[in-house]
């Protein structure tokens, strides 16, 4: 792994058989799911999948690359390659088809390397020299696989997930965009480190891995050993062994595959704590030291880093480095002639007195006994970019320096994002973040997994997970499932008493939203008032939480058409936010929107529209124009203009909302369908009958699924579509 170059004999495998008893499908597996950072396409028109030679070749390839796609036609292979977005691609191709396909695919950024597999290597040497991604022309698959092992290791090195943050003078919108992936993985880390895992966590991961590597005998043996012997060896020993553990963890952290990260949570936590324990043993080490890392960076990643000297650079996974500059340089030089990648030698200046990010020497901890010293840092090590210069032999040298834990830019980066998400538990923050980026399905998978793998003794956290999974189900319009989960959370939190009092208040708030959606305003109001009573009498309650409860009560009053009382509650929330938050905070945007809608309902249309546009203005400074959080404000403004019979601007804002919603396929279909319905109504009023029919059809099609087709809104959309169709017939 990392910058190591030495191997040793592996212990005999245990070959633990697969056990299907009491299997729980908590992870969504599919044959097409890729669990490594690379995928392989084997193109040869003479492939006979039933032949012994073919099966042997496949077996050899899968020892290195788990995902192997066989193609017998060049165009089909090219089509597959074009669709790859997250993985590095290896191509093995016959000499005849190689001559045809290489010119067509060589420029693809994701294509890492090509191997010509043929009976007469010399015959293809001349034309192959023109294409630098062709690494080998060989008649023996074993030699190709040897080359693939080295290339796969280099790809792992190159694809360590990172984030770059400008040095200064960035706006809230830019900060929101660049910090989202960092904050996403930071929240996951916090949750996973908070959790207590049961022994079943190992079995859940092992079973998923068996399905993922079902055709890879070598990995299956490794998985069996891992399941049976995990406690016999250290977490770092397993991580550095470079099997599925290392590959899956790095990929899932890079691609934010939340369900796999959750399944590996116990492993991530164990690695972190072992690094921390080793770090604490050497806490008196005060001298600044330098470590190195060699790898390739994609052109866009390099340019982003180069243009932000003085900014922050975060490694969002475990970070492997070497104290030996020459060892790191070997890895950098391997990318010297690689198209689409820039060879980088990182020089990391680490001052142990400035940072609490733990690190450990792997000399006696690694699966491989290194001759050179390797240093492993825990997740989310943040450095400042000091210099980027063109060094010798075409290798770019990047100097990074560890930042002080009180570094104002690092604090601002984390705290600004935290404020926008909320200062609640990590479990709740993750749900809010996933909802805000339209990833409710991933959050659902993660929370399902937490319920399966959490220690049943950790009731407080378990109740919080029930509550947040209920919230996600609610956002997905799975209302009966949401209610059941809220009830389970309430039972536990009431039993726990004062230790879970504020969690109980939060569940009451979520349950209040559920009742409001069910048009049961009496129970909705009762839930929010219970939450308010707890918060007002608890000294640990935060002002922001109190204000949000006032907002919730205002919403119920608004739904009861008590606009005066609703406005008074919204104004209470506004005063708290005004005194405790910056003027462009997302919560102020929300309350401006609520106040504006109330004012319009009270006949104060100009004041109402003014506040709605204030809400929109704040959102435009915080997030990109196509961010999902823009939808509610655009819809509110559209509704306001619609109530005023001002159809043109109403249509404009509904259309803007629809364009955003369309980019988030995991969001609630009823939400987008309602926007289309409003657009249909407006178009019909303006005499644009074809447009009205088109929007009505879109709303109807979105809600034809059996699980929502009987929803009152779905019936409304169906009736509107049929009515317009009859009018046009």
Are residues 212 and 103 located together in one domain of the fold? no
Share of the chain residues as helix, strand and coil, in percent rounded to the nearest 5: 60, 10, 30
DSSP 12: P
For 114-144, the pLDDT digits (tens) are: 999 999 999 999 999 999 999 999 999 999 9
**Percent of the chain topping pLDDT 70:** 88
Contact present, 223 and 244 (Cβ < 8 Å): yes
Instruction: Out of 117, 134, 158, pick the residue that ends a domain.
Output: 158
Tokens (6 digits) for 641: 């203009």
Please report whether residue 457 resides in a domain. Answer: no
For 364-401, the pLDDT digits (tens) are: 888 887 555 899 999 888 899 999 999 878 899 999 99
Instruction: Out of 98, 132, 158, pick the residue that ends a domain.
Output: 158
Residue 161: per-residue pLDDT: 85
For 677-706, the pLDDT digits (tens) are: 999 999 999 999 999 999 999 999 999 988
Are residues 175 and 150 located together in one domain of the fold? no
For 137-167, the pLDDT digits (tens) are: 999 999 999 999 999 999 988 998 888 887 6
Are residues 148 and 293 located together in one domain of the fold? no
Are residues 321 and 389 located together in one domain of the fold? yes
- Using the CB atoms, write b or e for 378-388: b if 16+ within 10 Å: bbbbbbbbeeb
Assess whether pLDDT exceeds 90 at residue 634.
yes
Residue 451: per-residue pLDDT: 84
Closest by CA to 93, choosing from 51, 50, 52, 127, is: 127
3-state secondary structure 435-475: HHCCCHHHHHHHHHHHHHHECCCCHHHHHHHHHHHHHHHHH
Range of the domain at 726: 638-729
DSSP 185: H
Q: Of the spans 205-209, 402-406, 585-589, which averages the highest pLDDT?
A: 205-209
For 234-254, the pLDDT digits (tens) are: 999 999 987 888 889 888 888
Please report whether residue 44 resides in a domain. Answer: yes
Backbone angles phi, psi at 642, to 5 degrees: -65, -40
How do 374-377 and 359-361 pair as beta strands?
A: antiparallel
Assess whether pLDDT exceeds 90 at residue 436.
no
**Percent of the chain topping pLDDT 90:** 57
Please report whether residue 280 resides in a domain. Answer: yes
- What's the total number of domains in the chain? 3
For 646-673, the pLDDT digits (tens) are: 999 999 999 999 999 998 877 789 999 9
- Using the CB atoms, write b or e for 295-316: b if 16+ within 10 Å: bbbeeebbebbbebeebbbbbb
CB < 8 Å & 24+ apart, contacts of 72-78 = 72/43, 72/44, 72/45, 72/46, 72/47, 73/45, 74/43, 74/100, 74/101, 74/104, 77/41, 77/43, 77/101, 77/105, 78/104, 78/105
Tokens (6 digits) for 146: 């040897």
Are residues 75 and 168 located together in one domain of the fold? no
Tokens (6 digits) for 20: 């299907």
Please report whether residue 487 resides in a domain. Answer: no
Assess whether pLDDT exceeds 80 at residue 220.
yes
Instruction: Out of 158, 189, 211, pick the residue that ends a domain.
Output: 158
Q: Helix, strand or coil for residue 135?
A: strand
Please report whether residue 66 resides in a domain. Answer: yes
Residue 497 backbone zone (phi > 0: left; psi -120 to 50: alpha; other: beta): left
Are residues 185 and 309 located together in one domain of the fold? yes
Tokens (6 digits) for 205: 């991961």
């Amino acid at each position: 792994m990392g910058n190591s170059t030495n191997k040793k004999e592996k212990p005999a495998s245990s070959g633990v058989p697969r056990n299907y008893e009491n299997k729980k499908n908590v992870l969504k597996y599919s044959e097409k799911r890729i669990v490594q950072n690379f995928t392989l396409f084997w193109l040869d028109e003479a492939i006979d999948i039933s032949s012994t030679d073919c099966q042997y070749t496949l077996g050899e390839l899968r020892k290195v690359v788990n995902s192997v796609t066989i193609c017998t036609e060049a165009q089909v292979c090219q089509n597959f390659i074009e669709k790859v977005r997250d993985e590095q691609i290896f191509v093995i191709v016959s000499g005849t088809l190689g001559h045809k396909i290489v010119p067509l695919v060589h420029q693809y950024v994701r294509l890492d390397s090509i191997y010509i597999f043929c009976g007469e290597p010399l015959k293809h040497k001349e034309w192959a020299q023109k294409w630098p991604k062709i690494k080998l022309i060989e008649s023996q698959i074993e030699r190709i696989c040897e080359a693939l092992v080295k290339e796969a290791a280099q790809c792992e090195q190159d694809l360590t997930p990172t984030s770059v943050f400008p040095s200064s003078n960035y706006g809230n919108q830019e900060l929101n965009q660049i910090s989202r992936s960092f904050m996403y993985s930071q929240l996951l880390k916090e949750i996973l480190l908070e959790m207590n895992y049961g022994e079943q966590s190992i079995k859940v991961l092992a079973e998923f891995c068996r399905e993922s590597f079902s055709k890879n005998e070598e990995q299956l043996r490794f998985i069996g050993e891992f399941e049976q012997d995990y406690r016999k060896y250290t977490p770092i020993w397993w991580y550095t062994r470079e099997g599925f553990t290392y590959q899956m963890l790095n990929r899932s952290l890079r691609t934010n595959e939340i369900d796999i990260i959750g399944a590996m949570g116990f492993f991530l936590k164990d690695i972190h704590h072992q690094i921390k324990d080793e770090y604490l043993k050497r806490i008196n080490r005060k001298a600044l030291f330098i470590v190195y890392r060699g790898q390739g960076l994609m052109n866009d990643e390099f340019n982003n880093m180069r243009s932000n000297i003085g900014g922050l650079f975060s490694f969002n996974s475990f970070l492997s480095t070497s104290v030996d500059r020459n060892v790191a340089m070997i890895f950098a030089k391997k990318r010297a002639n690689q198209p689409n990648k820039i060879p980088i030698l990182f020089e990391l200046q680490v001052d142990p007195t400035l940072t609490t990010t733990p690190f450990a020497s792997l000399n006696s901890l690694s699966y491989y006994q290194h001759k050179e010293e390797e240093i492993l840092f825990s997740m989310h090590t943040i450095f400042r970019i000091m210099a980027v210069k063109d060094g010798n032999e075409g290798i770019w040298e990047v100097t990074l320096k560890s930042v002080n834990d009180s570094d104002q830019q690092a604090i601002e980066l984390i705290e600004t994002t935290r404020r926008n998400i909320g200062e609640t538990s990590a479990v709740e923050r993750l749900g809010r973040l996933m909802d805000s980026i339209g990833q409710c399905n991933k959050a659902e998978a993660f929370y399902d997994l937490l319920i399966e793998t959490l220690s049943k003794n950790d009731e407080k956290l378990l109740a919080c997970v029930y509550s947040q999974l209920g919230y996600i189900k609610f956002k997905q319009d799975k209302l009966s499932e949401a209610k059941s989960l809220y009830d389970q959370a309430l039972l536990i939190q009431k039993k726990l008493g004062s230790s879970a009092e504020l969690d109980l208040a939060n569940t009451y708030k979520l349950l209040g939203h559920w009742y409001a959606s069910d048009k049961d305003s009496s129970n909705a109001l009762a839930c929010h008032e219970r939450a308010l009573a707890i918060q007002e009498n608890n000294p640990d309650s935060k002002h922001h939480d109190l204000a949000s409860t006032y907002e919730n009560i205002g919403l119920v009053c608004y739904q009861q058409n008590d606009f005066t009382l609703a406005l008074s509650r919204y104004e209470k929330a506004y005063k708290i936010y005004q005194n405790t938050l910056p003027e462009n905070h997302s919560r102020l945007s929300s309350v401006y929107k609520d106040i504006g809608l109330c004012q319009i309902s009270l006949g104060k249309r100009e004041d109402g529209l003014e506040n709605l546009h204030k809400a929109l203005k704040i959102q435009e400074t915080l997030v990109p124009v196509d961010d999902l959080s823009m939808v509610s404000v655009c819809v509110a403004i559209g509704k306001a203009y619609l109530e005023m019979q001002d159809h043109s601007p109403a249509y404009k804002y509904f259309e803007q909302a629809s364009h955003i919603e369309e980019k988030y396929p995991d969001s609630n279909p009823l939400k987008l369908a309602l926007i289309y319905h409003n657009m249909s109504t407006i178009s019909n009023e303006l005499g644009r009958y074809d447009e009205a029919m088109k929007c009505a059809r879109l709303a109807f099609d979105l809600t034809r699924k059996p699980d929502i087709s009987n929803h009152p809104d779905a019936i409304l959309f169906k009736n509107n579509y049929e009515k317009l169709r009859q009018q046009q017939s």
